[in-house]
Amino acid sequence: MDIYLPIAEIPVNVLLILGMSAAVGFLSGMFGIGGGFLMTPLLIFIGIPPVVAVATEASQIAATTLTGSLAYWRRRALDLKLGAVLVAGGMVGTGLGVLLVSLLRTLGQLDALVSISYVLLLGAVGGLLLVESVRTILRRRGGTAPARRPRGHRSWVQRLPLKMRFRRSMIYVSILPLLGFAVVVGVTGAVLGVGGSFMLVPVLVYIFRVPTNVVVGTSLFQVLINMLLATVLHAVTNHAVDVVLALLLMIGGSIGAQFGASAGQRLRGEQLRLLLALLLLVVAGRFGVDLLSAPTNPYSYEVTGSILGGGGS
């Protein structure tokens, strides 16, 4: 059962798109991630142009994170105050990222940047998560207590000014690093078509010491607002949001996210991080193989605007 995508300008199988989006939505709800680091590559692998995949995936991420956020909010596992701070920085980063996509598309460098960024970013984050989660699991099985910091020790985050207390997350930290990192996440999300939670979750857990059960719901909330903004900006600036594809992604993703949120509550924090690390490394490896492989069609052509406009004399 095929359907034609007007912006992507290719036909796709409806059941394939619904199945992929439902599976990614399940993982999104389980890990507290937008799911874009999985869905965007999948769309590119089945032939969707990268700029359309990046722009359209933002709407699917918004749909899946909405249902996931509601599920965690009902369980009182979402820090709205912390989420608002992250959203403030993320909105600035999202705006900058959309402008960067427009520039790179004009220069013809968007496809290469997306592939290289996926390999480097997902590989680095996935590797760090894998090492940490395996150590935690082995330490737990061996009955060894995790090493504690010396009494009175203060990290660089705790020494910064403009501190704010987040009661739901049980932390008292400066909002400066939170805002700065949220900007980075916003730029990355807009350029790569990802929610950025695969970066946000580890940083909130390991640097800011936010409890794992709270960080998942809070991350989904931040991604929701940023991706809504990214969808609007991509549609206005780059005209690359395929409404038909977006609708199919939203339907499948929203259904899958509900089941994923329930499944995520049954796993330990280190188990969730281990599974997330493996997913990140698999996607990074897939992009790495594509970068190293010889293209099947080394040449391509495109009709320029001047020809379409009949500007010749």
Whole-Å CA distances, 300 to 14, 106, 213: 28, 16, 48
- Residues 100/190, Cβ–Cβ less than 8 Å: yes
Strands 2-5 and 10-13: antiparallel
Residue 266 pLDDT level (bands cut at 50, 70, 90): low
Q: How many CB atoms lie within 10 A of CB 142?
A: 7
Contact (Cβ atoms closer than 8 angstroms) between residue 53 and residue 208:
no
Provide the β-strand partners of residue 3: 12
For residue 173, list its beta bridge partners: 164
Question: Residue 4: beta bridge partners?
Answer: 11
Please report which confidence band the pLDDT of residue 308 belongs to, taking 50, 70 and 90 as the band edges.
very low
Closest by CA to 228, choosing from 241, 215, 217, 214, is 241
Tens of pLDDT, residues 6-51: 888 888 888 988 888 888 778 766 665 656 777 887 888 888 888 8
Question: What is the pLDDT averaged over residues 138-146?
Answer: 69
- How large is the average pLDDT for residues 84-96? 88
Query: CA 253, CA 28: separation in Å to the nearest integer?
Result: 8
Query: In this predicted structure, what is the pLDDT of residue 267?
Result: 63
Cβ 249 vs Cβ 59: under 8 Å: yes
Distance (Å, rounded) from C-alpha 41 to C-alpha 290?
Answer: 11
- Joined tokens for residue 106: 């004009």
Global pTM reads 0.63
Residue 21 CA from chain centroid, whole number = 14
User: Closest by alpha carbon to 75, among 268, 257, 262?
Assistant: 262
